[in-house]
């Protein structure tokens, strides 16, 4: 039990095949009280109920500062503390550079980058009061290698922005004993890519990956658990690749 009695908030955590829900499940198995935070349409309360008793689901839009603050206030009211934040909410769009509209840019950057900032801002005061906390930000291999497989350049930019934001927060918040780290997943089979790749294309991609398979949500959940737990107490500002060797650098 690596997270006994810790309170973990996971944004975008209600997608049952997604990285967030796999992380929620693993953290719950490790003793955390989990807060699944997601858009109303994703039904976070129903997702939280699947984790068992003692976990809650909250509706929040990470692009809306007031919504993030209200959600964290509700967490404090229910549990009195926040130990772990996983900034997982994200969307992607397949676009060529010249086709990215202002609206596309706003949509993709707002969820991953603005959302990471707003949710971090919302939990930091509570973490500072306890002089303890772990913030895990989900970036992407797309930020490191100039595109993953599916997202356009604006997605790469959003995820590169997450790396920069997380590193700067790590430097600033170290004095408060708050750790901030990133995970850069490779291609993981979730709803984000559902129906967008044929089985033949997936097999071709797998051949280019040293571990010879696409990732599974639990591969990323394990990395989140490590960064959230006391196993990683001297890690801050790091980028943990979970990509099967797709990018070795």
**Mind telling me the catalytic residues?**
155
- Is residue 120 involved in binding ligand NAD (CB under 6 A)? no
Pick the stretch among 75-83, 181-189, 221-229, 233-241 that binds ligand NAD (CB under 6 A). 181-189
Burial of 208 (0-12, 13-18, 19+ CB in 10 A): exposed
Candidates 150, 245, 233, 141; CA nearest to 197 is 150
DSSP letters spanning 77-88: HHHS---EEEE-
- Sign of the torsion formed by the C-alpha atoms of 240, 37, 84 and 54: negative
Q: x/- binding map, residues 132-161, to ligand NAD, per CB under 6 A?
A: ------x-x---------------------
Cβ-contact 48, 10 below 8 angstroms: no
Question: What is the end-to-end Cα distance of the chain in Å, rounded?
Answer: 33
Looking at 8, 48, 108, 111, which residue binds ligand NAD (CB under 6 A)?
A: 111
Q: How far is the CB of 195 from ligand NAD (least distance, A)?
A: 12
Does 61 help bind ligand NAD (rule: CB under 6 A)?
yes
Among left, alpha and beta (phi > 0; psi -120 to 50; other), residue 131 is left
x-or-dash string of contact with ligand NAD, 79-98, rule CB under 6 A: ---------xxxxx------
Decide if residue 12 touches ligand NAD (CB under 6 A): yes
Please say which residue, 121 or 132, places its beta carbon nearer to ligand NAD. 121
CB count in 10 Å sphere of residue 180: 29
| Binding positions for ligand NAD, rule: CB under 6 A | 11-12, 14-15, 17-20, 38-39, 42, 61-63, 88-92, 111-112, 138, 140, 185, 187-188, 190-193
């Amino acid at each position: 039990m690596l997270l006994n009695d810790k309170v973990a908030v996971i944004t975008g955590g209600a997608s049952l095949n997604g990285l967030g829900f796999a992380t929620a499940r693993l953290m719950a198995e490790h003793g955390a009280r989990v807060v699944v935070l997601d858009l109303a349409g994703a039904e976070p309360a129903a997702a939280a109920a699947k984790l068992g008793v003692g976990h809650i689901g909250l509706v929040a839009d990470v692009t809306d500062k007031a919504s993030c603050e209200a959600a964290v206030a509700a967490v404090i009211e229910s549990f009195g503390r926040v130990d772990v934040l996983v900034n997982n909410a994200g969307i992607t769009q397949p676009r060529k550079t010249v086709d990215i509209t202002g609206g596309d840019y706003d949509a993709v950057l707002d969820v991953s980058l603005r959302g990471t900032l707003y949710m971090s801002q919302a939990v930091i005061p509570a973490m500072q009061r306890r002089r303890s906390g772990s913030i895990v930000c989900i970036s992407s291999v797309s930020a490191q290698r100039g595109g993953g497989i599916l997202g356009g350049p604006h997605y790469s930019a959003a995820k590169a922005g997450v790396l920069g934001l997380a590193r700067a927060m790590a430097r600033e918040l170290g004095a408060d004993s708050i750790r901030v780290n990133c995970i850069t997943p490779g291609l993981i089979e979730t709803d984000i890519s559902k129906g967008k790749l044929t089985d033949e294309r997936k097999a071709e991609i797998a051949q280019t990956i040293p571990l010879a398979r696409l990732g599974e949500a639990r591969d990323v959940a394990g990395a989140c658990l490590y960064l959230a737990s006391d196993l990683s107490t001297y890690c801050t500002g790091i980028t943990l690749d979970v990509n099967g060797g797709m990018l070795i650098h």
